[in-house]
Amino acid sequence: MELSSFNFTAADEAEIVRSQFEECHHIFRAEAFDDEQAISCQINNALESASAEHHNCLGCNFAEMIELIDGFLATHPLLTKVRHAYVTHILLNYLLVERLEVLFDIIELNSVYRRENFKILPAVRRWANFIKHPKAFLLTHHAEYTFDGSPKLPELSTHASVTIDTSFLGTYYVNEERNNELYRKLENKDGVLVVFPAARVVTTEMCAAMRACVGIIRDNQVYRSVLEKRATFLNYWPVGEKSE
């Protein structure tokens, strides 16, 4: 029996995906925005305080990514497939991850603190790498897709020949060392199951990471000094014409 026979029907899949991403949209609007403005704009407020004519680009560049994610989540009534919704969501969050990690590199954020307090960043990066660089997964036949917490997961896992989840990616998709073993596991296989991290968890933790980042910049004069010098355009706004 094909693995798909243990998964949702098309109608049930569409209903649960729409419900999940509607919830994610509500969470994201509540946590990634303050008064309809992306929370990253608080970085600009902290770094432009010296003069109303100056402009720091960091908050705006993060806001662009936040607005991309928000725009996708707003399409939740149109979503019908786990694979499409989850792949798109992960890749859009990955754009935000890359920017956070560049910022942390610039300010030389302590590596231990970074590892302990921003665990969602390498998790999203790993899933994005799997999507972008499938390696042996390219040689599998009609994989099935689900998510952590799915009511179908126990039965799907029981009948899957291989389950690709966060733990699997941590073993085979962090470097090239185990590629030969990976090919032996996946090459020409059917019954392969991909288990994405729950969208609600990714949304909640990415919002928390962004808020933590804002706090780190806002509350640390050393970091503000570094970023003011490297990302502030002096006399950017004519007097009295600063954009809101």
Specify the pLDDT at position 231. Answer: 62
- Which residues of the chain, if any, have pLDDT below 50? 50, 233-240, 242, 244
Q: What is the enclosing helix (H) or strand (E) of 38?
A: strand 37-38
Specify the pLDDT at position 235. Answer: 39
Specify the pLDDT at position 16. Answer: 97
Specify the pLDDT at position 139. Answer: 97
Specify the pLDDT at position 55. Answer: 60
Nearest partner of 131 among 180, 96, 83, 167, judged by Cα: 83
Strands 144-147 and 192-196: parallel
Specify the pLDDT at position 54. Answer: 58
C-alpha to C-alpha distances, 179 to 235, 236, 238, nearest whole angstrom? 53, 50, 57
Count Cα neighbours of 13 within 13 Å in the Cβ-side half-sphere: 19
What is the CA 30 to chain-centroid distance, rounded?
Answer: 17
Specify the pLDDT at position 234. Answer: 44
Residue that is written with structure tokens 């060392």 in the block: 177
Helices 199-218 and 82-107 sit at what angle, rounded to 10 degrees? Answer: 20
Q: What is the pTM of this model?
A: 0.91
Specify the pLDDT at position 90. Answer: 98
**Count of residues in the chain:** 244
Residue that is written with structure tokens 């002096």 in the block: 234
